[in-house]
Structure 1
Amino acid sequence: MNADDTIICDAIDAMRLLIVDYGGTRRLVQPHVYGDDTQGHRLLSAYQLDGGSSSGESRGWKSFRMDRVRAVAPTDERFHAPRPEFQRNDGAFARIIRQVGG
C-alpha cells in the first residue's frame, strides 16, 4: 500500500474525517468505502460535509478517483456511525479494499 492507501484505510477504520484536495478545492469528507471500480480506477466513496464541488453541491455523497486527488490528510475529528443511507458492499466497486464497519 502507498501512503494515501494507508491514510484512507486508517481513517475508515477509525471513522476519522479526511481532507481531500480534489478538483482544485479542499473538501472535508467522511470516508466510507475504498477500492477499485469496474474500470480499474481506485475510488474513495465518501460523504462530503464541506468544501468546493464542480457540481455546486458542497454536501452529499461523492466518489473521488484517486488518480485525480492531489492530496489527502487525516483530521482529529471523528464521525460516530456510518451515514444512515450507506450501502455496504457497494456494487460500483469491483474490489473493496476497506469499508466502514469491516
Structure 2
Amino acid sequence: MIDKTSLWIVIILLGLGSFGLRFVFTGLIGDRPLPAWMLRHLRYTAVAVLPGLVAPLVVWPAATGGTLDAPRMAAAIITLAVGYFTRNVILAIVLGALTLYGGLALLG
C-alpha cells in the first residue's frame, strides 16, 4: 500500500504535467496559427489513439481471461475491412458490433 504523502505527490505531479501539456497549446500558442505540417500531423491523433485503446480489448480481453477468441478477432477484422474499403466509420462500427454479438451468441 502506498503512503498518503507519496500518493498526493504523484497526483499533484501528474496534474501539473497534464496542465503543462495543455497550456503549451492553449496558453503559449493561443490564437497564433499553427504551421501546416503540425496541423497535418494533428489530424492523425485520433486515428493513432483509438487502435491503442481497442487493441488490448481484442488481443487480451478480460472476458476470456486474456486469451484470444474467434468472435473478437472476427469482429476486429470485419470492422477494419469495412472501414478500409467503405471509409464509413458508422457502418464499420455497426457491422463490427453485429459480428461480435453474433459470434458470441453462436460460439459463446
Category of TM-score, reference length = shorter chain: under 0.3
Larger Rg: 2
Give the strand-richer structure, 1 or 2. 1
Superposition TM-score, scaled by structure 2 size: 0.27
Superposition TM-score, scaled by structure 1 size: 0.28
Give the helix-richer structure, 1 or 2. 2
The higher-RCO structure (CA 8 Å, 6+ apart) is 1
